[in-house]
Structure 1
């Protein structure tokens, strides 16, 4: 039986995982021999990352493999600060009294989505959700519940390790306005009037509107896989 060739998404995930293990190891070890071995792993991870880009027939690769390695090496901390973990993004499903959801159109891509942003140091996850909604839309809101904790790489909407924490929030005031840099449009939409270019609505839409209309489901998360490295 022939084994199926890995997808570019798998190669990208393997590359990120190997690089994270090596960078974490370099952050903890003081042994020169071990540092050399970890750096060799970084070179292998860079080869995998470049292969993934080539398989996707991406535009010309901007950086050679050694540039990937140099970038990783420059972001190594010592001890616990050097332990490489996924980035954290926070999203907010905001509903109003009419059962509509608050969406923004990203200025860089034209894609519509609920307000999102990277987790900021000094804020709790729910505080980030409230802050991002206010900054991107002008709407004030209060968190109600956690809808999901999703692995962005596993879902296929991130090329690097990233977790998305998605909150259900209730609008409490404010007026619609766009962010001068991040959003080109903002508005309220019902389940049958979503913009055509809404990202990922097929998987988060039903859960979001269920929460908005008062029929929430337990928080969603990615179940463990039988074979993490091959599925």
Structure 2
């Protein structure tokens, strides 16, 4: 769940970024730069992140601050769900990642499945739009929205990638160790509840 210090730091960063985008007064610009510096120091102090690393992330942001978008593909084969094993932590998640500029949400989902698993899919429907801060993920510098898009399996063969070391289908009762920075068991169980149902309400928040 969201930590209060992280929530404050993200809000300060958003205020400073908007101020730097729209302010013309040189004194206001300096104050907003100080706020951005303060937000980075808060994150570095209460996390294991290096201050300079945090500053690079914050300074690279321009314009009005908005959440980043993480897109995850939900691919069922009968009663099992497609998952990939991340090389970064040797744990499992749904295929996906940051939304790429120039691609629609569904195009991103299709691309990520093929790149990370080797399978070919076509998009069907949105199952969930979740605020990462409202779920028990580890803290993250960014405020992130997670889009879960159900896709139909139409071809391909399992093939790991530069980011993934294994590919597999798992039932809800035999899930592998999860990469909880990317997916939680509770989220997966909610997605399993949608499997095979024609009319389901989109999960949100």
- TM-score, length-scaled by structure 1: 0.78
Give the C-alpha shift of residue 71 in structure 1.
5.5
In structure 2, C-alpha distance between the alignment counterparts of 1:198 and 1:39, rounded to whole Å: 35
In structure 1, C-alpha distance between the alignment counterparts of 2:50 and 2:134, rounded to whole Å: 25
In structure 1, C-alpha distance between the alignment counterparts of 2:50 and 2:61, rounded to whole Å: 22
**After TM superposition, which residue ranges in structure 1, 4 or more long, deviate above 6 angstroms?**
none
Match of 2:148 in 1: 166
Match of 1:145 in 2: 125
In structure 2, C-alpha distance between the alignment counterparts of 1:214 and 1:8, rounded to whole Å: 32
- What CA deviation, in whole Å up to 9, does each residue of 1:140-177 have, x standing for no partner? 11111111111123324241211111111111111111
Match of 2:51 in 1: 63
Match of 2:45 in 1: 51
Give the C-alpha shift of residue 76 in structure 1.
5.0
In structure 1, C-alpha distance between the alignment counterparts of 2:19 and 2:95, rounded to whole Å: 35
Structure 1 residues 8 and 122, CA gap change in structure 2 (3 angstroms): closer
- TM-score, length-scaled by structure 2: 0.87
Question: Alpha carbon RMSD of aligned pairs, Å?
Answer: 2.3
2:188 corresponds to 1:194: no
- What CA deviation, in whole Å up to 9, does each residue of 1:117-145 have, x standing for no partner? 11111100011001100111111111111
Q: Which has the higher contact order (CA 8 A, sep 6+)?
A: 2
2:56 corresponds to 1:93: no
In structure 2, C-alpha distance between the alignment counterparts of 1:87 and 1:17, rounded to whole Å: 14
User: Pairwise mapping of residues 59-138 of structure 1 onto structure 2 (< 5 A)?
Assistant: 62-63=50-51, 68-69=54-55, 72-73=58-59, 75=60, 77=62, 82-96=63-77, 98-138=78-118
Segments of 5+ residues of structure 2 without an aligned counterpart are none
Match of 2:4 in 1: 10
Give the C-alpha shift of residue 19 in structure 1.
0.8
How many residues align? The count is: 201
Whether the aligned pair in 2 keeps the contact of 1:9 and 1:52 (CA below 8 Å) is no
Match of 1:3 in 2: none
Structure 1 residues 71 and 178, CA gap change in structure 2 (3 angstroms): closer
- What CA deviation, in whole Å up to 9, does each residue of 1:160-204 have, x standing for no partner? 21111111111111111111x100110111222221446444321
In our comparison, the structure showing a higher alpha carbon Rg is 1
Whether the aligned pair in 2 keeps the contact of 1:94 and 1:212 (CA below 8 Å) is no
- Does 104-113 or 28-37 show the bigger shift? 28-37
